[in-house]
Structure 1
Amino acid sequence: MNGRAMNGGSTWRAWLSTDTPQSRMQARLGRAWSGWLAFRRNRLAMAGLLIVLGLVVVAALAPLLAPYHPYEQDLANRLQPPGALHWLGTDSFGRDILSRLIHGARLTLMIVALVAATAPVVGLLIGTVAGYLGGWVDAVLMRITDIFLAFPKLILALAFVAALGPGIENAVIAIAITSWPPYARIARAETLTIRRADFISAARLQGASSARIILGHIVPLCVASLIVRVTLDMAGVILTAAGLGFLGLGAQPPLPEWGAMIAAGRQNVLEQWWVAAMPGLAIFVVSLGFNLLGDGLRDVLDPKGD
């Protein structure tokens, strides 16, 4: 039985690694397999992947993993140092910091997912349209992009949140609005390099419309580089969200957002250091994980960047 399983595994690896694929699906799966093998050899990238997967698991199983309710107050045990009952200590309201960090992973993952699902899509469409059409369309769209790039992301996000009002939803909108310009620049640069390629000219001669060429031919070729940039930018998104929360413009109490938790502990940072240090450590670890994962994906998906 074990021999059959080993032979089956070897057959699948041979099928995926062949230099002469018999179908498009086999070719795509073969590229994915070779990319995974290259990615797996990068130990730092694998560490980043494990950190990100750990964040997802913790967010999904937060009610089961948290030893206490994140909003449960126990004033008799306020500002307790890390110990057997509270592994990471308690805050000024006696709430368990570990439980709040675990539930705060859900907010962090939600912010990352919403920004990743909006800003890159907007930037991809704007960049490909500008790069393919050129002329006044390119000039107008790129000048708008330059206006957004002229301001630091956090300052621009602060301005949008101040106009929209504090709250986690408005913070996500503000971060997404300020995050799309780099993706537009990348997509435009990719489009300029391939818009005069032979297969684009052939599609145009066959009567394909500009929209069909952009969506069917150019956009898929730009996705790989955007995936790398999105992964690398997630650390910045987490830091921006934490900065808004620290300033009181992001998630509002009693939500266990990591930036707001740091703000709550800043008054006692010298005596009760764990109140601010633990959420700060969580932000550092998750941001490092996304950076390591992004570096590994860049080596696999965008080797020409080396």
Structure 2
Amino acid sequence: MTVAPASAETWREWLMSDRPQSRRQASLGRAYGAWRAFARNRLAMAGLGIVLALLLMALFADQLAPYSPTVGDLRTTRLLPPSAAHWFGTDDQGRDILSRIIYGSRITLFVVVLVAVLAAPIGLAVGTIAGYAGGLVDAALMRITDIFLAFPRLILALAFVAALGPGIENAVIAIAITSWPPYARIARAETLTIRQADYIAAVKLMGASPGRIVLRHIMPLCVSSVIVRVTLDMAGIILTAAGLGFLGLGAQPPSPEWGAMIANGRLYVLDQWWVAAAPGAAIFVVSLAFNLLGDGLRDALDPKGVK
């Protein structure tokens, strides 16, 4: 067992050692190298900053929002333009748009996190099992995957939400059901390469079962690729959720969901442009941030690019 050094310079040398003395040192060294590669990408750091700001905004919405997101005054504050009192203006119900955007970040994060938690493990499991088993199992699982990939995500999500009924929970389930196929494709491609490795053959000779090989030795190696794809898909997930909200199949009124806010603002887009422009800008900025973050993670987690 190795002892970690004390000074910062020695820490850096210890982490970047070409000959790590323990598994812990090797793991920390890989993580540090990935972080250095990520930190060199200024756009990726900007994306990370925006995502962290979104997370903080959702956590402290009660303290940050100046007004109630669901209650307004139709007589005095209806459709007011942006001002010092209402930075993003008010909507047709007299509600402060900035407050609704701040609270809407909670719904956005709720959708993104739940879809990632539901879809990524399904795709990872399907892809690794198909790639390792091969034969009829691989053919059957990949044909099911192809069926899901044959339809645009939003159209397929609309079909599932129409069957399940409107609501944010059903929208999350529908988006998750339509999001796992790309992860299965990536995991299968990784597994087809990994299963031919010498250490997999060694594990087989030691008597490990196929289930243990997939769970303990193949899935962990596919996780980084799936994480990158999930991060890049966050923008698509947000747009799909906003599309369902725009059509009235996502979060129901008076929830401050960004897509539903745009749908409400389309009636006033010519004269009171801020009603639709503010939530549209929020969707654009957050989607761009996740794309920048995903690009940075892809470069950082590439073994050929980490130095």
Fold match by TM threshold 0.5:
yes
Q: Which has the higher helix share?
A: 1
AA paired with 2:151? F
The corresponding residue for 2:252 is: 252
* Equivalent residue, structure 1, for 2:57: 58
Question: Who is 2:48 aligned against?
Answer: 49
Q: Distance in 1 between matches of 2:220 and 2:173?
A: 26
Aligned to 1:3: none
For residues 154-178 of structure 1, give each alpha carbon's deviation from its aligned partner in whole angstroms, at most 9, with x where no partner exists.
Answer: 0000000000000000000000000
Counterparts in 2 of 1:1-20, with a 5 A limit?
Answer: 8-20=7-19
Which segments of 5 or more consecutive residues in structure 2 lack a partner in the other structure?
1-5
- Alpha-carbon shift at residue 205 of structure 1 (Å): 1.1
Aligned length: 299
CA–CA distance in structure 1, aligned partners of residues 205 and 233 of structure 2: 38
In 2, the alpha carbon distance for the partners of 1:186 and 1:251 equals 31
* Shift in Å, 1:9: 2.0
Q: CA deviation at 1:72?
A: 1.7
User: Partner of 2:38 in structure 1?
Assistant: 39
- Partners of 2:225 and 2:97 lie apart in 1 by 38
Q: What percentage of aligned pairs have identical amino acids? A: 74
Shift of 1:17: 2.0
SS at 2:53 equivalent: helix
Q: How does 1:91-102 map to 2 (within 5 A)?
A: 91-102=91-102
**Counterpart AA for 1:198:** D
Which aligned pairs between 1:9-158 and structure 2 lie closer than 5 A? 9-75=8-74, 76-158=76-158
Displacement after TM superposition at 1:196 (Å): 1.5
28 and 236 in structure 1: CA distance in 2 versus 1, 3 angstrom threshold: same
Equivalent residue, structure 1, for 2:195 = 195
Deviation at 1:286, TM superposition (A): 0.2
**Structure 2 partner of 1:288:** 288
Q: Which moved more, 1:68-77 or 1:165-174?
A: 68-77
Q: What one-letter code is carried by the residue in structure 1 that aligns with 2:222?
A: C
2:135 counterpart letter in structure 1: G
Kindly state the Cα deviation for residue 74 of structure 1 after the two structures are TM-superposed: 1.1
How far did residue 121 of structure 1 move?
A: 0.4
Displacement of 1:303: 5.3
The DSSP-based 3-state class of the residue aligned with 1:250 is coil
Q: 2:294 & 2:256 partners in 1: Cα distance?
A: 27
**DSSP 3-state at the match of 1:77:** coil
Q: CA deviation at 1:8?
A: 2.4
Equivalent residue for 1:214? Answer: 214
Counterpart code for 2:28: L
What residue identity is the alignment partner of 2:159? A
Alignment TM-score, normalising by the size of structure 1:
0.96
Report matched runs for 1:166-245 at 5 Å: 166-245=166-245
Amino acid at match of 1:118: L
TM-score (norm: length of structure 2): 0.96
Unaligned runs of 5+ in 1: 1-6
Is 2:163 the counterpart of 1:163? yes
Residue aligned with 1:35, SS = helix
Matched AA of 2:40: R
**Cα distance between partner residues in 2 of 1:303 and 1:255:** 43
Distance 1:304 1:166 in 2: 45
Q: Distance in 2 between matches of 1:282 and 1:263?
A: 14
Q: Distance in 1 between matches of 2:143 and 2:19?
A: 46
Alignment match, 2:3 = none
The Cα of 1:304 is off from its aligned counterpart by 5.6
